[in-house]
Structure 1
Amino acid sequence: MVYKIIYKTGGSFISDAGTLVEAKKQASEHAGYGFGSICIMEGEDIDSCCEPVAIKFEHGIEWIEPER
């Protein structure tokens, strides 16, 4: 599985995490002040990362995981 991390501010990167839990941790660690929100997309490869699996808003404490 591949996780793409996208910030509302426009930054994004492909996570080297092996699990969603690790991807969430990595996304939080790389978020700077004023990131707005974070969306983690999941796919089989980089080109297929289109399914949002976790969202976190800057002023929220917890991750939201949309139903699949």
Structure 2
Amino acid sequence: MPEITDEQLIAKLTEWGSNQMTYVVANSLRMDGHKGIKTDYVRRRLEKLERAGRVKRVPSIYARMICWSPA
């Protein structure tokens, strides 16, 4: 699986606006050449960044989709 940095993840959150859903971040990384990246891997990395206080969950209109924003 291609390695991504925390900074790349945070940059993807702000690339198309400040709040992005997990699958949007994953798709954006895939478009940048990280073809093997899986959405659940991106979610786990974002959850790790959330515990570190670098990102936060924000309300979403969808019941099962997590929306993220830089902290």
Q: TM-score range by the shorter chain?
A: 0.3 to 0.5
Choose between structure 1 and 2: higher strand proportion. Answer: 1
* Higher relative contact order, structure no. (Cα contacts within 8 Å, ≥ 6 residues apart): 2
* Superposition TM-score, scaled by structure 1 size: 0.35
* Superposition TM-score, scaled by structure 2 size: 0.34
